[in-house]
Structure 1
């Protein structure tokens, strides 16, 4: 259904370092970069190795605001260990804990997830939803 999603970030280099670290355990990498320090219109894109971007970060200093309550971005994880590694990497890059890795039986019997808030206030989740 979706081709890609873009998020505005206040500091593109800091955000790119955060997403490089947080998405790596999930198997997602930076697939393109348009970083030109001091210039407008910088961005980076993330996706699967050898593929196009599914998430783009756009540098929007001063005018970016995260979406309001109810919005969050959930990333598919290959296993429970990847969910935990996503959470640890995000916290290690300055993200805020919004739910430690663990089962969420109210979402389903195999729903294993972790939740963080990125450096610009975007709510993120990594989820593995299959029998372990």
Structure 2
């Protein structure tokens, strides 16, 4: 469904530490990215897949990054344990708690998730979708 999702950061080094901590336990890896004349950026993908991509960019207008009110990026985890690991690693890497890891039965039986904010204030959700038999994204 998505080509890519992008959030802004005023400190890419700090953002890189945070997102490496959160995304590596979910199976994503950082890939090199060379912005085409624009601001500096970081990128993560699933190994063996070119899309979708998750980017963190310095804002194009060179103004400080601001988190969107009501916006959130949700990452799919392969297990509840991966949610726990990613959530704890994100907190240790400078994230702020927005909802501890645990069952979220109101979203579906077997749904397990955690919420946090990255160091720039972007809201991040890590979710294991036990309520869906095939969480690969395939129909």
TM-score normalised over the length of structure 1: 0.88
Deviation at 1:109, TM superposition (A): 1.1
Q: 1:48 maps to which residue? A: 46
What whole-Å deviation, never above 9, does each CA across 1:11-68 have from its counterpart, x for those lacking one? 0111011111111110011012449xxxx71111101123336111111353321111
Q: 2:69 maps to which residue? A: 68
Distance 2:40 2:49 in 1: 20
Map 1:27-46 onto structure 2 (within 5 A).
Answer: 27-34=27-34, 41-46=39-44
Map 1:14-33 onto structure 2 (within 5 A).
Answer: 14-33=14-33
Stretches of structure 2 that go unaligned for 5 or more consecutive residues are 132-139
Distance 2:72 2:11 in 1: 20
Deviates more, 1:52-61 or 1:115-124: 52-61
Distance 1:120 1:34 in 2: 22
Instruction: Find the residue that maps to 1:116 and give its secondary structure.
Output: strand
TM-score normalised over the length of structure 2: 0.83
Stretches of structure 1 that go unaligned for 5 or more consecutive residues are none
Backbone CA RMSD of aligned residues? 1.7
Instruction: Find the residue that maps to 2:99 and give its secondary structure.
Output: strand
Q: 1:86 maps to which residue? A: 86
- How many residue pairs align between the two structures? 126
Distance 1:130 1:65 in 2: 33
